[in-house]
Amino acid sequence: MSTSPIASGIAQTSLQAAQANVLANSKAMVAKLNADLITIYHSAYADYVTNMQSGQNVPAERRNPPVPPMAWEVAPPNSDGFQFYQIGTTPVCPEGPAVPCNYDNPQPNSQPNVIMIGVLITGKWYQALKGDTFPSGMTTPPQPDGHTYEKFGAPVGPGWYLQVS
């Protein structure tokens, strides 16, 4: 018993049956290859967003979002009537939006008690930006978003903030 969705038998040895089999295979491969390209692109875009929001220096040439690759498509029939697959002329998915670079935030300062809360890390934890001089272990007054945060120090860098209300 075969697991192939294509019926077998003597009728499947004709040129038309072979062309239909190749076309069905090409369509299946196009779907699989495009799904893989979309996964790879989404991974590259997620890396881009992470780098842009990290607060680290991102070189100017890497501040643009990645461009999606061209999608695979079923090719026109060749001289024998078989249709294989080829790289098309349309992107596999829409390009993700550009993200502002957090490195461009204000640079460090020497004024005491400056609160500089960055992006959400996970849960209720936020990064403290370079230049934050608020003391560790203290709770901030209500911020413009209406929340208060407790500052946690770090052995390297300005630390983290935990949203407490």
In whole angstroms, give the CA distance from residue 121 to residue 53.
10
pLDDT tens track for 90-99: 999 999 999 9
pLDDT tens track for 122-133: 999 999 988 888
Taking the domains of the chain in order of start, what are their residue ranges? 10-91, 105-165
What is the per-residue DSSP string for 42-71? HHHHHHHHHHHHSSS---GGG-SPPPPPEE
**Least confident segment among 48-52, 106-110, 147-151:** 106-110
Largest CA distance in the chain: 86
pLDDT reading at 1 higher than 50: no
Under 8 Å between Cβ of 151 and 135: yes
Looking only at the bridges linking them, the beta strands covering 85-91 and 70-74 are antiparallel
In whole angstroms, give the CA distance from residue 33 to residue 92.
10
